[in-house]
Amino acid sequence: MDFDWSPEEIAFRDEVRAFIASEMTPEVAGSIFIDTPARIEFVTKMAERGWLGMGFPEKYGGSPNPFPLAQFILNAELDRAGGPIIGKNVGTIASTIYNVASEEMKLDFLPKIFRNEGQWAITYSEPNAGTDLGSMQCRAVDKGDHFEVTGMKHYITSAHFCRWHWMALRTDPDAPKHKGISIFIVDHDTPGLSLSPMNTLGREGTTHRTNQVFFDKMIIPRERLVGEQNKGFYYMMQALDYERFAILSFASRVRRFNKIVNFYKAADYGGEKPAEDPVTRRALARMAARVEVGTMLERLAICAAQEEVPDVEAAMNKAWGASIGDEFAQLGLDLMGPFGGLWGGEHSAFDGKLADEYLMAGHARVAAGGVDTSKSIIARRLLGLPNALGKPELPAR
């Protein structure tokens, strides 16, 4: 199998790199979110070049010659450069809308996403429904031409600057728990929707700020129901499969790892060179191999996505990437000593990015179904191991 990019893909990657080199100002860099006027303008410039919809058909605002790998190349370059990424809007929401929504909804929302007309929040989690999303209780009561919602969600990233919510709600309280959930697209300015900040570990520009989102008799028009009523759990699982490889790229970890290696190659403490220390060399060599595996697993998931929604490959990417994030942060702090834990100032390692990585590692372990759920997917769907009820779900691949 050839894991390298083709000449066409390399040409696009180089075009993106040139764009980033000329357009990514200090106001744009420093966050993965499209949350300020400078970052919105930066992403809109890419939208005007047609880059956001390059993988989708022209009638939805995409391209006359769809180039499906473009969004992954673009996202990886943006992530590598430390700027706002398109993996949530395009890689997750647009991909799922394209697969499961009605023709009217695709014609309405996909062009808006590809023009960067607004940001999205993914609004699933509740106090008793995080990993186990099938347990969600927040009801959307079917009133015929609309649904009425009273309740709350929590830990919702991006809700304080989003235009739309990709929202899961319970529409049938009597059905088995996975069969009574529906997905809706909800305007953030809908009357009855309000927010309260939930600040988590981390700094601005990370997922530091999340939100509680409250609904008080909020009305959702029926035409904002995505796909079929009560099929939302399956749409959510599909969106999570995309989240496990399409939101964040492994490229930013490769970049940070290379920085550590370059730092060690150059370090010289009065003639004493840590690059010559066998313990340091061994730790870095071990991590280099693991970083390379991460890059390959990500490419495997991207390639698998060209055929169908990848579940096992996405889960392998997620489980490996988040675990490596943990190890990587720990290794960096071990090697840098107390300087690694500083958030800024002349002695901090890489402008505090190591400390950030350390704080964010916990979130990466639970986000998008997380490491544990991903391992369960690998166990059941790849290896054919029995589920919690003791029954194999699928033959081993």
Please give the residue ranges that form the binding site for ligand FAD (CB under 6 A). 122-125, 130-132, 155-157, 200, 207, 210, 363, 366-367, 370, 372, 376
DSSP state for residue 206 in the 8-state scheme: B
What are 256's two structure tokens? 């940070």
* Residue closest to ligand FAD (Cβ): 130
- Residue 7 CB, shortest distance to ligand FAD, in Å, is 38
Q: Which is nearer to ligand FAD, 42 or 155 (CB)?
A: 155
Q: Min. distance of Cβ 378 from ligand FAD in angstroms?
A: 12
Closer Cβ to ligand FAD, 63 or 157, answer by number: 157
Residue 63 is classified by DSSP as: B
First to last CA, the chain: 18
d(CA 134, CA 369): 12
88 vs 106 by CB, closer to ligand FAD: 88
Quick one: 200 or 230, whose CB is closer to ligand FAD?
Answer: 200
**How many Å apart are CA 361 and CA 364, to the nearest integer?**
5
What single-letter DSSP state applies at residue 6?
A: P
Task: Report the greatest alpha carbon distance in the chain.
Answer: 78
Nearer to ligand FAD, 77 or 243 (CB): 243
- Cβ at position 19, least distance to ligand FAD in Å: 28
DSSP output for 64-101: SS--TTHHHHHHHHHHHTTS---IIIIIIIIHHHHHHS
Smaller CB distance to ligand FAD: residue 156 or 312?
156
Task: Specify whether the CB–CB gap between 37 and 84 falls below 8 A.
Answer: no
Q: Which of 287/315 has CB closer to ligand FAD?
A: 315
Smallest distance from ligand FAD to CB 104, Å: 26
Q: How far is CA 210 from CA 136, 169, 206, 343, in A?
A: 19, 19, 10, 21
| Angle between the N-to-C axes of helices 232-246 and 70-80, in degrees from 0 to 180, rounded to the nearest 10 | 60
CB of 153 to ligand FAD, least distance (A): 7
Q: Regarding beta strands 207-221 and 193-204, do their DSSP bridges make them parallel or antiparallel, or are they unpaired?
A: antiparallel
DSSP E strand boundaries for the chain: 120-123, 139-142, 146-153, 164-170, 181-187, 193-204, 207-221, 225-226
Q: For ligand FAD, which is the closer residue by CB, 106 or 318? A: 318
Kindly state the smallest distance separating residue 33's Cβ from ligand FAD, in Å.
11
The nearest distance, CB 159 to ligand FAD, in angstroms, is 8
Q: At its nearest, how many Å lie between ligand FAD and the CB of residue 322?
A: 10
